[in-house]
Amino acid sequence: MTQTAEMLETYPADLGRIDREKLIRCVEACIACAQSCTACADACLSEQSVEQLTKCIRSNLDCADLCDTTARVLSRHTGYDANLTRSVLDACAMACQACGDECANHADRHDHCRICAEACKRCEKACRELIDSLG
């Protein structure tokens, strides 16, 4: 059992109709993606061709911030606001798509971009699956 799942199990109130497995996958994907994007931005800054990676760095940082925020919002259940949750998930999915696409442009030259693109695609998918399950 992951820490995310363990924390969710301890929540004392009813979570309603939310798909717990999709929620857990999404929180964990957001956390992993935020870490990958942060590390990728840092690695890009160390590349000799840093000036060619400006857009990638910006995408990494935006995506990391949105993934972090999304994981935090999804970890709070008291006073749940479905509209806010959908909006945050949608913004996160869009940031992941943009960052994943940008990193994919550099993936053949930089392994950190390849790894980050994969993390972004996983997170985008997890966000979209959770959105779909919310009804």
Conformation bin of residue 56: beta by default, left when phi > 0, alpha when psi is -120 to 50: alpha
Q: Could you say which DSSP state residue 19 is in?
A: -
**Across all residues in the chain, what is the average pLDDT?**
96
Q: What is the CATH number of domain 20-134?
A: 1.20.1270.360
- pLDDT score recorded for residue 15: 83
**Alpha carbon 131 to chain centroid distance?**
13
Averaged over 79-107, what is the pLDDT?
96
Classify residue 80 by its DSSP letter.
Answer: -
What separation in angstroms does the CA of 41 have from each of 47, 61, 103?
10, 7, 10
Global pTM reads 0.95
Under a CB-based contact definition with an 8 Å cutoff, are residues 25 and 70 in contact?
Answer: no
Please determine, for residue 135, whether its predicted confidence score (pLDDT) is greater than 80.
Answer: no
Sequence spans of domains, the chain: 20-134
pLDDT digits (tens, 9 = 90+) for 3-52: 999 999 999 988 888 899 999 999 999 999 999 999 999 999 999 999 99
Answer with the residue of higher pLDDT: 15 or 110: 110
Q: What does the pLDDT read at residue 100? A: 98
pLDDT of residue 84: 94
**Residue-level pLDDT at 116:** 98
Angle in degrees, 0-180, between the axes of helices 54-74 and 20-46, rounded to the nearest 10 = 150
> Where do runs of H (alpha helix) occur along 75-110?
82-104
44 is written with which tokens? 């890009």
- The pLDDT, as a whole number, for residue 14 is 85
pLDDT band at 74 (very low <50, low <70, confident <90, very high): very high
- State the Cα–Cα distance between residues 8 and 37, nearest whole angstrom: 25
10 φ, ψ (degrees, to nearest 5): -85, -5
